[in-house]
Amino acid sequence: IDPHAVVNDLRAVDDENRELAGATFLSLMLAGFAAVAATIAMLGIYGVTAYSVQQRERELAIRMALGAGRAAVEKLLLRENLAVLIAGLIVALGGAWATARLLEHQVFGVQPFDISTLAATSTVMTLTWLAATWWPARGASQKDPAVSLKEG
C-alpha cells in the first residue's frame, strides 16, 4: 500500500503462535482448575446442607406431629439455612476480592472485579444451596411423622 513504509520488526507467524500457545494453555488449565474447584464447592455445599437437614429429621417429625404443615417445615429450614448461605457468600466474595488484589497484575485483559463473574458464581452457589436445602426438607416433610419418630 505504501512503498516507502519502513518495517522494523519482522517476525514469522509461527513465532507469534508459539508465544500465544503458552498463554492459551495456561488459560485453559486455570479454567479447568476453576471448574473443578466450583464442582467441589457445589458438592460440599450440597453435602453439608443435606446432612444438617437429615440430622433434624426427628425434630421435623415432632413439629409435624404437633400440627406444623409441610410448607411450614420447608420454610423453617430454608429460613434457618439462609443465614449460612449469606455468611458463606460474604466470606467467598471477600476471598475473591483479596485474591483478585493479589493476582491483579498476573492476568491481562480481565478486570479484577468482574461483576458478571461474581454474580454468576453467587447465583450458581445459591441455586446449589436452594436444592441442597429444599430437596431433603421436602423429603423429610413428606415422610410420615410416626415412621420418622420410630426410626430416630
Count the helix, strand and coil residues of the chain and give each as a percent rounded to the nearest 5: 80, 0, 20
- Across the chain, mean pLDDT equals 82
Average pLDDT over residues 59-65: 86
Average pLDDT over residues 47-55: 85
Q: Measuring CA to CA, which residue among 51, 26, 10 is closest to residue 106?
A: 26
Show contacts of 33-41: CB within 8 Å, 24+ apart: 38/121, 38/124, 41/125
Query: Can you tell me the distance from the alpha carbon of 90 to that of 19, in angstroms, rounded to the nearest whole number?
Result: 39
Average pLDDT over residues 25-44: 87
Please check whether residue 49 is in contact with residue 129, taking contact to mean a CB–CB distance below 8 angstroms. yes
pLDDT in tens, 75-111: 888 888 888 889 989 998 898 888 888 877 776 666 7
pLDDT at 131 > cutoff 80: yes
